[in-house]
A and B are shown apart, each in its own frame.
Chain A
Amino acid sequence: QKEVEQDPGPLSVPEGAIVSLNCTYSNSAFQYFMWYRQYSRKGPELLMYTYSSGNKEDGRFTAQVDKSSKYISLFIRDSQPSDSATYLCAMSPWGAAGNKLTFGGGTRVLVKP
């Protein structure tokens, strides 16, 4: 069993819909959670970063962390075709700066105009 599980998709939604992404994990030591967006043949781009449980909102993006369930989510409101990409969750026990990240497998999202 992988430490971090993420549905590979593809997840296809019409433009303007809400995109809902999630990851589950098994290591209760994880405290720092990140979401990255990766376009084809490009490096990952940081979207959201959260520490411990709770919600965080940034523009059209909302990240949620439920440590009791070992479950994290990312919601994208008013989705645009430019949001079509692979979304990767990542997490770390001690903070990501000097420590390795454990990634989910990524979910491919397609927003249709």
Chain B
Amino acid sequence: GAVVSQHPSRVICKSGTSVKIECRSLDFQATTMFWYRQFPKQSLMLMATSNEGSKATYEQGVEKDKFLINHASLTLSTLTVTSAHPEDSSFYICSAPAPGLQETQYFGPGTRLLVL
């Protein structure tokens, strides 16, 4: 199947710093990517929809100034957690629509963020 990668896989940072997470579609182009957050033993919660060439669409309750999304190219979307705090510690996962199989999405391996 289609491959979506994320970098880094794990990051530990101090409170107040900013962290950038990359999501790449390795062998296909994606005009849309999705960013999810998952807390331990909980399901995925959609944070925002990343659109290449335009602003991201954020879900209700997600602070767009805190979670900056940039869809720089057809294969790369980035999520920047600004001024991170311990409550931002979570598992962040991106997804992209599968090429040729228009009704499904493929997910990245996730990035675990720990804010001290």
Contact = CB atoms under 8 A, between A and B. Distances in A.
Contact of B112 (A41, A88, A101, A106): A41
Contacts of B46: 100-101
Of listed B44, B91, B107, residue having the most chain A CB within 10 A: B44
Contacts of A44: 44, 93, 107
B47 to A, nearest CB: 10
B44 A96 contact: no
Contact of B44 (A32, A46, A97, A103): A103
A36 interface: yes
A71 interface: no
B105 interface: yes
Contacts of A45: 107
Interface residues of A, number: 24
A88 B104 contact: no
Contact of B1 (A34, A46, A104): A46
Interface residues of B, number: 28
B103 A88 contact: no
Given A41-B91, A42-B110, A101 B103 contact: no
A36 B43 CA distance: 11
A18 B106 CA distance: 26
Contacts of B91: 41
B112 A32 contact: no
B104 A43 contact: no
A95 interface: yes
Contacts of A101: 34, 46, 105
Nearest to A32: B103
A100 B49 contact: yes
B29 interface: no
A97 B97 contact: yes
B98 interface: yes
Interface string B45-77: 110010000000001000000000000000000
6 contacts: A34-B104, A45-B107, A49-B104, A97-B103, A97-B104, A101-B105
